[in-house]
Amino acid sequence: MGKVKQAQKQKFGAMKRRLNLKDSRLKSKDRLKNKKQKPKKGENLSIRTLPQTPASMFFSYNKSLGPPYRILIDTNFVNFSISNKLDVFENLMTCLYAKCIPYVTDCVMAELEKLGRRYRVALRIVRDPRFERLTCLHKGTYADDCLVERVTQHKCYMVATNDKDLKRRVRKIPGIPIVFIHNHKYEVERLPEAS
């Protein structure tokens, strides 16, 4: 049994052996391969292209946002509103001090329908005629991609979500505020008037 344990220790501590660049066994050709070669001036320079920011984002403040606010709503935002017993319309208006128009995409509706009976209350709330309906022309029903795509195309929307991944993706897009639920009330992130 002692030999088995020794063999296991040797396998665990085994390392791949490497030659030092100053080793006498290496030839001068091999030493040159390992060193990084710097590109000469004007050669092999990669040109980066950045997407052009729209004119509404002058000085990184979104001029196309204004009352009445258009808010794209995610599935988990509706679910968190129900669990915190918050009315979507009243709380959005008290949070933003203006009229708000909540928008629901076809992907969000499909996601709520897929979730089944547990989320039938959320589905009933979203089917309210006060919610504006947006049709989706893309393939698939993944709501996060749909919301991010719509927000990048049109800078006039705010995004209402509690999803960490979606928040991270929306934060990369300049000028798009995020509405989320914190301490049983709605809060806005990155809206200049709110601060």
What is 98-167 written as a DSSP string? S-EEEEEEHHHHHHHHHH-GGGHHHHHHHTSTTSEEE---SSS--HHHHHHHHHHH-TTEEEE---HHHH
Radius of gyration of the chain from its Cα atoms, rounded to whole angstroms: 27
| Predicted local distance difference test score (pLDDT) of residue 63 | 78
| Predicted local distance difference test score (pLDDT) of residue 6 | 59
What phi and psi, each to the nearest 5 degrees, are found at residue 134? -115, 130
| Predicted local distance difference test score (pLDDT) of residue 9 | 55
| Predicted local distance difference test score (pLDDT) of residue 28 | 72
Q: Which residues of the chain have pLDDT under 70?
A: 1-16, 29-48, 50-51, 53, 55-60, 192-195
What gap in Å lies between CA 195 and CA 189, rounded to an integer?
9
| Predicted local distance difference test score (pLDDT) of residue 164 | 95
| Predicted local distance difference test score (pLDDT) of residue 194 | 45
Closest CA to 188 of 103, 91, 122: 91
Show the domains of the chain with their CATH numbers.
62-194 (3.40.50.1010)
